[in-house]
């Protein structure tokens, strides 16, 4: 059938004078389609109170809405067919045709249908219904579905595609059938020439009515209690359920609910957490634009829950001969539900004696009956059971006969429930599918746990034998201490538990056949393809393997059975399960399970070095998936590049062009290879891809002038307290002591990367130039320059050079004195302190510039004093040497003036306005020293893994927690973040990334108290109250 959309001329609220009587035609079309003899009733726009599903319900809804009046006998007659004479009347009335009996005179067979002659003639004259030929109209013949389609389409003025086809319909009818099906008026049929039943008429009429009578705005039409914890709300138009809200109140009190919208958006169920009790309730529709809603409320009167009926669930009147026979009773409320009332509200009598009932999960009650009582033998005895509700006269009584000992005769399997509620399948290792089972004795009574647990057992649990088809060793049943698969929950409900003990790489359905006695039951358990590798490839597109690389990391791109790309963790998990089989000649390989390169392939060439591979050769990688039934073989290769050799310099710390009064500076360059990686020491001789050999060195020329000599430049590796390389470069000096040349050989590059210090003395005037060049030498000849030189100069200018001075902007200050206590009240409580000795003060920084605007480095700030115009706003402090500090007191603005000693020996006053604010301190920036670190069992605080954590607040104040670096002699431990916990509120969390178990840390101090051996990798996060955070990944070597 050709795809085409069809549009109803919607029965909107447009005035009649604009719509040209369309509404009248629509009303006739809908009201006359059911029966020709039914007069059309007044139109009703009443919305259907419920969502009818069956044809009878739809018919009743149309009658209730005033669309149909129904037959005199009150029946719908849905199974009857419509005759051609009845159809002629419908067509004539729908199209507004005048009766024309004369036009019907051409037919000779209307003797028994004279009542319809005028309508038949009118329909014939209009060309809507024609005769069979030879003067035959056939008035008593049934109307076919295709004829009904034409009537419906023309009555509702639906657009028709003349070229449309419909299989099962005559050619003339195909366009009408296609239009009717596309519009949802009739369902697709195999044969449209078959008689049309009144059911099809009702379905068509209901579809037309609901699609053409959509109000402009949504209104709440009905609200009613449909359960003790349920309220059903009905709207007359679909709403956007993502925006719409429904609120429930009892009187003026709000009732907590959960809204569950129907798919059509026209109704919803409100699920309450408390019982509905007697009183007036109101539902209010909200969340939508005012112009999109009409009536927004609906009210109903509720009553307290009542017990309306008691009944026995047992299928017959015989109980087994058992110490633990059970009678099941159901108590229904006025909503037809099992009551929410507890067992204590009922009284149960067995043979006149009181027994205690228990309530089941499904709301029914279990009543224990010991049929092995005195005077009762197998197959001989009657036991009367009575149950009544204590608060009313609702009661039920039954006499039960006593049969023989219980035998398992029937098994029923319930809906499977999965521990993995995300997938509702067995997906991850140790996922469990629980199969509830109901076991019955030979009389149809439920068997209970006590009948299996008694000694001796009345029924043997070992008779339960489940079998999984097809067999898979990864699926196993959990068993109890007696090695039985039949288990019971805390409420005594029988169940089987099927566990997935290892991930599967495919989606599959498994049938569980449960055998017991002469009975069996079946359940289906779904297994989802886990996030395990079923296909992979090596991504070598961005891999560089140099000849002197001992190891290389290769990314892996992997997919699961569903074609979804795996994450690094999922690749690592697959590797841990042994699913990868990867080989590289003359190397060992492993997929890294932890660390920043987790899920990537590490290739270790295991050689003595420094040459691990020959330049321009190829390293071949191949691999496949273990445990796979399909061909998963992959291979690729990496071309070995030339050795990593020094190709260029990276300026790591630049020299300030000028300094004065003995200011010092440092200059650090780093050697880089052609791939942007830092180069350390290399082999003495390196062979390239073409077989030529080369040697490399770095030559640094230091030239000085004026008061500065070569003694003013010091290689950093020689500075006391810094670990030195084993091969420091030895400078060559010339006689004038104004030039020094360092030659860093292949095994001294790490030394070069440490840089140089430039030291001057007060009064020095001169210049230092440091020039570095990479040199290269072939197999013959001498070294020559290989790269562009990098040169920097530092000039110690005359002490009386004209300079201009300023103070860097202090920025806003926190009103620490006003807002914080003067002394600690508890650990972590911030205190105000005083200027010069407070966490919250700021030190003044003096800047000097020459006449060209170039900054000139000063050895210190040379501050000689400081004042504040309003000490009530800001405190100031001069340390007596060269520095001054400002501390916020109270909110406000004041002017701070620093007295600064200049290079010419005079002083200048440098002022700026300072604003103090009382806004609470918040974390503006959070930084960590490391983002990953290897696990160390000796570490007891998270700071040791971060190395340092630095907080900067909105005032620019920094706080740092830092560990004591064993690489230096100085104690660098800082606890400023912990000390100021009351205002920063930094907290630490931990998440296990791989492995099992839990890492225990103190969220406030970061103290680590437990890291189980089963944890392979974990993330520690430091998080501020405003959500800013930093994370470090801690990995064990696996």
* Residue 31 banded pLDDT, cuts 50, 70, 90: very low
Gap between the Cα atoms of 796 and 760, Å rounded: 7
Token readout for 304 is: 């307290």
Please check the confidence at residue 394 and state whether its pLDDT lies above 90: yes
Mean per-residue pLDDT, 621-635 = 88
Q: In this predicted structure, which of 58-72, 166-180, 634-648 has the lowest mean pLDDT?
A: 58-72
Please check the confidence at residue 154 and state whether its pLDDT lies above 60: yes
All residues at 6 or more sequence positions from 440 whose CB lies less than 8 Å from its CB, including other chains? 408, 409, 410, 411, 412, 446, 447
Mean model confidence pLDDT for the chain = 87
Task: Tell me how long the chain is.
Answer: 1038
Please confirm whether the linkage preceding 718 is cis (ω < 30° from 0): no
Q: In this predicted structure, which of 535-539, 795-799, 993-997, 1005-1009 has the lowest mean pLDDT?
A: 993-997
Q: Which of 37, 45, 79, 87 is nearest to 59 (CA)?
A: 79
| C-alpha radius of gyration, the chain, whole number | 45
Q: In this predicted structure, which of 66-80, 351-365, 582-596 has the lowest mean pLDDT?
A: 66-80
Mean per-residue pLDDT, 529-547 = 92
CATH of domain 220-302: 2.60.40.1220
Contact 885, 877 (CB under 8 A): yes
Q: What is the pLDDT of residue 66?
A: 65
All residues at 6 or more sequence positions from 1002 whose CB lies less than 8 Å from its CB, including other chains? 988, 1009
The DSSP letter of residue 231 is E
Please check the confidence at residue 890 and state whether its pLDDT lies above 50: yes
Q: Which of 396, 408, 493 is nearest to 444 (CA)?
A: 408
Mean per-residue pLDDT, 444-458 = 93
SS3 946: helix
Domains 220-302 and 648-796 are alike in CATH topology? yes
Please check the confidence at residue 32 and state whether its pLDDT lies above 70: no
> CA-CA-CA-CA torsion for 711, 715, 721, 722, nearest 10 degrees?
170
Q: What is the pLDDT of residue 732?
A: 57
Gap between the Cα atoms of 453 and 145, Å rounded: 64
Token readout for 44 is: 């009703």
Mean per-residue pLDDT, 289-296 = 94
Best-predicted range by mean pLDDT (20-24, 483-487, 600-604): 600-604
| Residue indicated by tokens 């697959």 | 574
Gap between the Cα atoms of 275 and 252, Å rounded: 17
* 11 vs 905, higher pLDDT: 905
Gap between the Cα atoms of 607 and 309, Å rounded: 86
* Residue 4 banded pLDDT, cuts 50, 70, 90: very low
SS3 498: strand
Gap between the Cα atoms of 390 and 735, Å rounded: 118
* Residue 729 banded pLDDT, cuts 50, 70, 90: low
Please check the confidence at residue 25 and state whether its pLDDT lies above 80: no
Q: What is the pLDDT of residue 625?
A: 93
Rounded to a whole number of angstroms, the distance between the first and last alpha carbons of the chain is: 63
The 10s digit of each residue's pLDDT in 682-721 is: 889 888 878 788 999 999 999 999 999 888 998 886 433 3
Please check the confidence at residue 259 and state whether its pLDDT lies above 60: yes
* Residue 972 banded pLDDT, cuts 50, 70, 90: low
3-state per-residue secondary structure call for 24-82: HHHHHHHHCCCCCCCCCCCCCCCCCCCCCCCHHHHHHHHHHCCCCCCCCCCCCCCCCEC
SS3 952: strand
Mean per-residue pLDDT, 366-395 = 91
Gap between the Cα atoms of 503 and 383, Å rounded: 53
Please check the confidence at residue 85 and state whether its pLDDT lies above 90: no
Please check the confidence at residue 628 and state whether its pLDDT lies above 80: no
The 10s digit of each residue's pLDDT in 911-922 is: 999 999 999 999
Q: Which of 351, 360, 358, 359 is nearest to 319 (CA)?
A: 351
The DSSP letter of residue 316 is S
Q: What is the pLDDT of residue 94?
A: 56
Q: Which of 319, 310, 312, 311 is nearest to 444 (CA)?
A: 319
Q: What is the pLDDT of residue 52?
A: 72
Contact 890, 912 (CB under 8 A): no
* Residue 252 banded pLDDT, cuts 50, 70, 90: very high
Q: For residue 875, report the phi and psi dihedrals to the nearest 5 degrees.
A: -90, 150
What angle, rounded to 10 degrees, do the helices at 198-212 and 22-31 form? 150
Mean per-residue pLDDT, 993-1022 = 92
* Residue 39 banded pLDDT, cuts 50, 70, 90: very low
Contact 350, 312 (CB under 8 A): no
The 10s digit of each residue's pLDDT in 801-819 is: 999 999 999 999 999 999 9
> CA-CA-CA-CA torsion for 898, 901, 907, 913, nearest 10 degrees?
-20
Q: Which of 137, 83, 85, 80 is nearest to 115 (CA)?
A: 85
∠ CA 256-259-260, nearest 5°, is 150
Best-predicted range by mean pLDDT (155-159, 726-730, 819-823): 819-823
Q: Which of 609, 781, 611, 785 is nearest to 697 (CA)?
A: 785
> CA-CA-CA-CA torsion for 974, 979, 982, 987, nearest 10 degrees?
40
Gap between the Cα atoms of 318 and 754, Å rounded: 95
Q: Which of 670, 693, 696, 669 is nearest to 682 (CA)?
A: 696
Q: Which CATH number fits domain 535-641: 3.30.70.260, 1.10.340.30, 2.60.40.1300, 2.30.30.190?
A: 2.60.40.1300
Please check the confidence at residue 349 and state whether its pLDDT lies above 90: yes
Q: Which of 290, 275, 279, 296 is nearest to 233 (CA)?
A: 296
Please check the confidence at residue 634 and state whether its pLDDT lies above 60: yes
- DSSP labels for 652-696? EEPPPSEE-TT--EEEEEEEE-TTS-B-----SSEE-TTS-EEEE
Q: In this predicted structure, which of 6-10, 125-129, 178-182, 815-819 has the lowest mean pLDDT?
A: 6-10
CATH of domain 648-796: 2.60.40
* 725 vs 940, higher pLDDT: 940
Mean per-residue pLDDT, 928-951 = 91
Sketch the domain layout of the chain as residue ranges: 16-82+142-212, 220-302, 307-402, 410-527, 535-641, 648-796, 804-917, 923-1035
Mean per-residue pLDDT, 436-445 = 94
Mean per-residue pLDDT, 326-345 = 94
- DSSP labels for 396-446? EEEEEEE-SS----EEEE---EES-TTTTSB-STT-EEEEEEEEE-TTSPB
Q: What is the pLDDT of residue 719?
A: 36
Mean per-residue pLDDT, 852-860 = 94
CATH class entry, domain 804-917: mainly beta
Q: What percent of the chain has pLDDT over 90?
A: 66
All residues at 6 or more sequence positions from 666 whose CB lies less than 8 Å from its CB, including other chains? 653, 655, 716, 755, 756, 757, 758
Q: Which of 122, 110, 177 is nearest to 144 (CA)?
A: 177
Please confirm whether the linkage preceding 796 is cis (ω < 30° from 0): no
Q: List, in sequence order, every residue forming a beta bridge with 245; answer none if it has no partner.
A: 286
Contact 104, 85 (CB under 8 A): no
Please check the confidence at residue 19 and state whether its pLDDT lies above 50: no
Would the pTM of this model clear 0.75, i.e. be above it?
A: no
Gap between the Cα atoms of 350 and 331, Å rounded: 18
Q: What is the pLDDT of residue 67?
A: 61
Whole-angstrom CA distances from 627 to 504, 592, 630, 973, 987 are: 10, 20, 9, 52, 45
Domain 410-527 has CATH 2.60.40: yes
CB atoms closer than 10 angstroms to residue 566: 22
Gap between the Cα atoms of 913 and 209, Å rounded: 76
Note the Cα 212 to chain centre separation in Å: 40
Q: Do strands 245-250 and 253-255 pair parallel, antiparallel, or not at all (unpaired)?
A: antiparallel
Q: Which of 896, 920, 893 is nearest to 820 (CA)?
A: 920
Please check the confidence at residue 212 and state whether its pLDDT lies above 90: no
Q: Which of 718, 865, 707 is nearest to 798 (CA)?
A: 707
Q: What is the pLDDT of residue 148?
A: 86
CATH class entry, domain 307-402: mainly beta
Whole-angstrom CA distances from 177 to 358, 469, 569, 790, 877 are: 60, 47, 56, 86, 95
Q: What is the pLDDT of residue 609?
A: 66
Mean per-residue pLDDT, 574-578 = 89
CB burial string 176-210: b at 16+ within 10 A, e below: bbbbbbbbebbeebeebeebbbbbbbbbbbbbbbb
- DSSP labels for 126-189? TTSS---BTTB--TTSBPBHHHHHHHHHHHTT----TT---TTS-TTTHHHHHHHHHTTSS---
Burial class (CB in 10 A: 0-12, 13-18, 19+), 913: exposed
Q: What is the pLDDT of residue 686?
A: 87
Gap between the Cα atoms of 414 and 495, Å rounded: 9
Gap between the Cα atoms of 666 and 359, Å rounded: 82
| Residue indicated by tokens 């002659």 | 117
Gap between the Cα atoms of 83 and 115, Å rounded: 13
Please confirm whether the linkage preceding 480 is cis (ω < 30° from 0): no
């Amino acid at each position: 059938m050709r795809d085409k959309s069809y549009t109803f001329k919607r029965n909107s609220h447009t005035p009649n004078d604009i719509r040209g009587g369309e509404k009248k035609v629509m009303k006739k079309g809908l009201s006359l389609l059911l029966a020709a003899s039914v007069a059309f009733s007044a139109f009703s726009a009443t919305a259907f109170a419920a969502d009818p599903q069956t044809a009878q319900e739809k018919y009743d809804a149309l009658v209730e809405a005033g669309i149909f009046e129904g037959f005199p006998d009150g029946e719908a007659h849905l199974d009857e067919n419509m005759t051609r004479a009845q159809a002629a009347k419908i067509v004539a009335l729908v199209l507004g045709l005048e009766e024309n009996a004369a036009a019907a005179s051409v037919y000779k067979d209307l003797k028994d249908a004279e009542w319809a002659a005028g309508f038949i003639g009118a329909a014939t004259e209009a060309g809507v219904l024609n005769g069979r030929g030879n003067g035959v109209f056939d008035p008593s013949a049934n109307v076919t579905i295709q004829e009904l389609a034409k009537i419906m389409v023309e009555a509702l003025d639906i657009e028709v595609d003349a070229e449309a086809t419909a299989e099962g319909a005559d050619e003339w009818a195909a366009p009408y059938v296609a239009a009717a099906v596309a519009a949802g008026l009739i369902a697709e049929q195999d044969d449209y020439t078959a008689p049309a039943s009144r059911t099809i008429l009702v379905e068509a009429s209901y579809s037309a009515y609901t699609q053409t009578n959509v109000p402009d705005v949504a209104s709440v039409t009905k609200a009613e209690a449909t359960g003790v914890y349920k309220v059903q709300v009905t709207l007359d138009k679909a709403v956007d359920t993502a925006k719409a809200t429904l609120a429930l109140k009892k009187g003026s009190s709000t009732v907590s609910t959960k809204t569950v919208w129907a798919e059509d958006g026209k109704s919803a169920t409100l699920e309450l957490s408390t019982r509905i009790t007697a009183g007036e309730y109101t539902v209010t529709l909200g969340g939508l634009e005012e112009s999109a809603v009409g009536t927004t409320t609906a009210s109903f009167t509720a009553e307290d829950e009542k017990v309306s009926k008691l009944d026995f669930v047992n299928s017959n009147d015989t109980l087994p001969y058992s110490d633990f026979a059970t009678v099941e009773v159901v108590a229904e409320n006025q909503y037809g539900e099992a009551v929410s009332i507890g067992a204590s509200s009922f009284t149960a009598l067995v043979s006149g004696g009181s027994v205690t009932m228990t309530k089941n999960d499904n709301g029914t009650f279990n009543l224990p009956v010991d049929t092995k009582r005195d005077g009762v033998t197998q197959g001989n005895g009657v036991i009367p059971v009575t149950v009544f509700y204590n608060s009313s006269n609702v009661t039920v009584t039954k006499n039960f006969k006593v049969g023989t000992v219980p035998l398992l005769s029937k098994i029923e399997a319930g809906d499977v429930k999965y521990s993995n509620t995300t997938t509702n399948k067995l997906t991850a290792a140790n996922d469990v599918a629980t199969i509830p089972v109901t076991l019955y004795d030979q009389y149809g009574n439920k068997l209970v746990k006590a009948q299996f647990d008694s000694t001796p057992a009345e029924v043997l649990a070992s008779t339960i034998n489940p079998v999984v088809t097809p067999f898979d060793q990864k699926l196993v049943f959990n068993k109890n201490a007696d090695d039985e698969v039949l288990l019971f929950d805390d409420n005594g409900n029988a169940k089987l538990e099927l566990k997935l003990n290892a991930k599967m790489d495919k989606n599959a359905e498994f049938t569980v056949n449960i055998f017991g006695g002469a009975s069996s039951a079946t359940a289906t358990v779904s297994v989802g393809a886990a996030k395990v590798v079923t296909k992979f490839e090596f991504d070598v597109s961005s891999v560089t393997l140099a000849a002197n690389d001992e190891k290389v990391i290769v990314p892996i791109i992997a997919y699961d059975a569903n074609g979804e790309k795996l994450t690094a963790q999922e690749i690592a998990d697959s590797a841990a399960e042994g699913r990868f089989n990867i080989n590289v000649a003359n190397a060992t390989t492993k997929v890294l399970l932890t660390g920043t390169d987790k899920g990537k392939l590490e290739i270790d060439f295991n050689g003595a070095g420094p040459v691990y591979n020959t330049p321009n050769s190829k390293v071949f990688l191949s691999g496949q998936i273990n445990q796979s039934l399909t061909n998963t073989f992959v291979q690729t290769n990496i071309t070995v590049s030339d050795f990593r050799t020094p190709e260029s310099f990276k300026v790591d710390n630049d020299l300030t062009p000028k300094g004065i009064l003995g200011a010092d500076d440092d200059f650090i360059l780093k050697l880089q290879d052609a791939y942007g990686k830092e180069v350390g020491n290399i082999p003495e001789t390196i062979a390239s891809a073409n077989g030529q050999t080369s040697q490399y060195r770095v030559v640094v020329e230091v030239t000085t002038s004026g008061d500065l000599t070569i003694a003013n430049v010091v290689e950093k590796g020689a500075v006391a307290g810094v670990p030195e390389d084993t091969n420091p470069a030895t400078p060559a000096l010339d006689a004038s002591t104004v030039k020094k040349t360092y030659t860093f050989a292949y095994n001294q590059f790490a030394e070069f990367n440490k840089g140089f210090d430039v030291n001057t003395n007060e009064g020095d005037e001169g210049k230092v130039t440091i020039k570095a060049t990479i040199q290269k030498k072939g197999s013959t000849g001498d070294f020559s320059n290989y790269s562009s030189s990098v040169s920097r100069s530092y000039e110690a200018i005359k002490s009386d050079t004209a300079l201009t001075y300023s103070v860097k902007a202090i920025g806003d200050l926190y009103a620490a004195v006003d807002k914080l206590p003067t002394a600690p009240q508890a650990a972590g409580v911030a205190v105000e302190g005083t200027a010069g000795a407070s966490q919250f003060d700021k030190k003044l920084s003096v800047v000097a510039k020459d006449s060209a605007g170039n900054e000139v480095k000063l050895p210190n700030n040379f501050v000689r004093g400081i004042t504040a115009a309003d000490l009530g706003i800001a405190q100031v402090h001069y340390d007596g040497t060269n520095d001054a500090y400002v501390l916020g007191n109270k909110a406000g603005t004041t002017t701070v003036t620093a007295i600064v000693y200049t290079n010419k020996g005079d002083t200048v006053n440098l002022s700026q306005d300072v604003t103090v604010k009382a806004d609470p301190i918040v974390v503006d920036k959070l930084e960590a020293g490391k983002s990953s670190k290897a696990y160390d069992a000796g570490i007891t605080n998270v700071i040791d893994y971060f190395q340092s954590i630095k907080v900067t607040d909105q005032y620019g104040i920094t706080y740092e927690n830092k560990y004591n670096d064993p690489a230096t002699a100085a104690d660098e431990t800082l606890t400023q973040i912990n000390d100021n916990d009351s205002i920063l509120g930094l907290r630490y969390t931990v998440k296990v990334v791989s492995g099992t178990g839990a890492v225990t840390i103190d969220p406030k101090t970061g103290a680590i108290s437990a890291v189980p051996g089963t944890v392979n990798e974990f993330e520690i996060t430091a998080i501020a109250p405003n959500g800013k955070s930093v994370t470090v990944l801690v990995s064990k070597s696996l």
